[in-house]
C-alpha cells in the first residue's frame, strides 16, 4: 500500500443514494465495506463526512435563517451522518471513535488532536463530526484541517465523479479528465475541487489531494494502493 495514514472526505449528498434526502442504507453499507477493505490492510483511516443530505448551512438564508445559525444546523447534520457511518462500520466488526468539533458527550468525544492520533495508532477508525466547530467553514475545510493536524499523507475526496475535469462532466460532454494536476494549475484554471479555504490549506501544507469516484466498488482500495484511479493534485 502506498499510504499509511489517510483522511477520507465523503459528501453527505452521496449518502442519499437514489433517494431525495436522508440516508440510503445500501450506500451506507457499501461505504462501510470500502473503508473496511483498506482498514483490514493496516491503513490508519480518518473520515470527515458532510451533511448536505440532511441540511446545508448555505441554504439557511433562503428560508430566513441566520447564516451562523444555519451553519451550526449543518454541523449537527454531519453528526447524524457520522453516527450512521460509525454504526455501519461497527456492524462490520471495526473499532471506531467519533470526535466532534462541538461538545456533545452523550454521543461523541470532543476533538483533541493527540487523542485522535492515539486512536489511529491503535487501529481505530476516527470519524470527525460537526465540522471545525465554527461557522463559515465547510466540511471540505474540516477535512483539510484535520488531515494536516493528524499528519495524514493524503486527503482522499470521494465523490460521484471519477476525478477533476476541464469542465463539469455532467453538463459538458466534451470535458476531459486530468490524471495529475498541480495546485497552481487548479487556481489558474478556476477548477472547482474544494472550496478555496480547504484547497489553500492543503496547498500551503503540501498535502496532496486525490479526487476519485467513491461509488464504484474497489476504488478506495485501488486509490490507496497508488493506482491512478482519479485525479492527483500536488
Task: Give the DSSP per-residue string, 62-111.
Answer: GGT--HHHHHHHHHHHHHHHHHHHHHHHHHTT--EEEEESS--TTT-EEP
Answer for the pair 50, 13: CB distance below 8 angstroms, yes or no: yes
The C-alpha cell at 95 is: 473499532
Rounded distance, CA 29 to CA 64, Å? Answer: 36
Which domains does the chain carry?
Answer: 5-160+206-228 (3.40.1160.10)
Q: Does the pLDDT value for residue 62 go beyond 90?
A: no
Cα-flanking dihedrals φ and ψ of residue 178, to 5°? Answer: -90, 135
* The most confident of 66-70, 92-96, 189-193, by mean pLDDT: 92-96
Q: Does the pLDDT value for residue 126 go beyond 80?
A: yes
Rounded distance, CA 54 to CA 68, Å? Answer: 17
In this prediction, residues 192-204 reach a mean pLDDT of 93
Least confident of 111-115, 149-153, 159-163: 159-163
Rounded distance, CA 58 to CA 71, Å? Answer: 7
Amino acid at each position: 500500500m502506498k499510504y499509511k495514514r489517510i483522511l477520507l472526505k465523503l459528501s453527505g449528498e452521496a449518502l442519499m443514494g437514489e433517494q431525495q434526502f436522508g440516508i440510503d442504507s445500501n450506500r451506507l453499507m457499501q461505504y462501510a465495506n470500502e473503508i473496511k477493505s483498506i482498514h483490514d490492510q493496516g491503513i490508519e483511516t480518518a473520515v470527515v463526512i458532510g451533511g448536505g443530505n440532511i441540511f446545508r448551512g448555505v441554504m439557511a438564508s433562503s428560508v430566513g435563517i441566520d447564516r451562523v445559525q444555519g451553519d451550526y444546523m449543518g454541523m449537527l447534520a454531519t453528526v447524524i451522518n457520522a453516527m450512521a457511518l460509525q454504526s455501519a462500520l461497527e456492524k462490520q466488526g471495526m473499532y471506531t471513535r467519533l470526535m466532534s468539533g462541538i461538545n456533545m458527550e452523550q454521543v461523541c468525544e470532543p476533538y483533541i488532536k493527540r487523542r485522535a492520533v492515539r486512536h489511529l495508532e491503535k487501529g481505530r477508525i476516527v470519524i470527525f463530526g460537526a465540522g471545525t466547530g465554527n461557522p463559515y467553514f465547510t466540511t471540505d475545510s474540516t477535512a483539510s484541517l484535520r488531515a494536516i493536524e493528524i499528519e495524514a499523507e493524503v486527503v482522499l475526496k470521494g465523490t460521484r465523479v471519477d476525478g477533476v475535469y476541464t469542465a463539469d462532466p455532467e453538463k459538458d460532454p466534451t470535458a476531459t479528465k486530468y490524471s495529475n494536476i498541480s495546485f497552481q494549475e487548479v487556481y489558474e484554471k478556476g477548477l472547482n475541487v474544494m472550496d478555496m479555504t480547504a484547497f489553500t490549506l492543503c496547498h500551503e501544507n503540501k498535502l496532496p489531494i486525490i479526487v476519485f469516484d467513491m461509488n464504484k466498488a474497489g476504488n478506495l482500495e485501488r486509490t490507496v494502493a497508488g493506482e491512478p484511479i482519479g485525479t492527483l493534485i500536488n
